[in-house]
A and B are shown apart, each in its own frame.
Chain A
Amino acid sequence: EVQLVESGGGFVQPGGSLRLSCAVSGFSFSSYAMSWVRQAPGKGLEWLSGVSDSGRSTYHIDSVKGRFTISRDNSKNTLYLQMNSLRDEDTAVYYCAKDQKYTWSDPGDAFDVWGQGTMVTVSS
């Protein structure tokens, strides 16, 4: 069974840091790109970051660039999101998602498996 299990969420003050993990099983992790998508309370989905199958290619949207870093360890079948300088507006459920392709930038790509999500609350 294909599974993505996120962990690492929690409550943090503005300016703080968290590292999210996404443990993967049931498929060849090193063959697919991975993404992080977040959903603020009561709001829609927002793609944040993508990493290629090898980990050599990454991208972050402007609002998190310089603060968040996506990475992966293919030997551990785990995806990460290091989040620094957190802001109130980063409060959301964070999902890891499996891309159908080996690269996150294929226009024909889609996210065919999602984790259960981990809640991040940023508040003073």
Chain B
Amino acid sequence: SYDLTQPPSVFVSPGQPASITCSGDKLGNKYVSWYQQKPGQSPVLVIYQDVNRPSGIPERFSGSNSGNTATLTISETQAMDEADYYCQAWDYPTWVFGGGTKLTVL
């Protein structure tokens, strides 16, 4: 089975950039999506096909994917961005999620 590895936690100060990584074998050859999940809420798609933002997602969210690592970057992190973030990729014949990263803004 294919594994996607994320750091369990990332800490960032308000206004500073935050980066969350997702690692997998030759992940750069796959499309990666990212989801944000706040406590008690459903996941929300924030990045798809590595770099694309759905409508309504702030421009401060961006993504990249190369080699074995995909990265979600929040340029100027706000308190409202505190949440769990999950990466996702397709590995035939199933969808795989990373274990999730808790982003803490402090």
Contact = CB atoms under 8 A, between A and B. Distances in A.
Contacts of B37: 45
Contact of B86 (A44, A61, A95, A109): A44
B100 A107 contact: no
A117 B40 CA distance: 10
Contacts, number: 57
A116 interface: yes
A110 B45 contact: yes
B61 to A, nearest CB: 14
Interface residues of A, number: 24
Interface residues of B, number: 25
B100 A61 contact: no
Interface string A8-47: 0000000000000000000000000001010000001111
Contacts of A104: 95
Q: Is the interface of B mostly helix, strand, loop or mixed?
A: strand
Interface in A73-124: 95, 100, 104-112, 114-117
Contacts of A100: 48
A108 B90 CA distance: 8
B42 A116 contact: yes
A114 B44 contact: yes
B46 to A, nearest CB: 10
B93 interface: yes
Q: Lowest 3 A-B CB distances belong to which pairs?
A: A110-B48, A47-B95, A110-B33
17 contacts: A44-B97, A45-B86, A46-B97, A50-B95, A59-B93, A59-B94, A61-B94, A95-B42, A105-B93, A107-B30, A107-B90, A108-B31, A110-B45, A111-B33, A111-B88, A114-B44, A115-B42
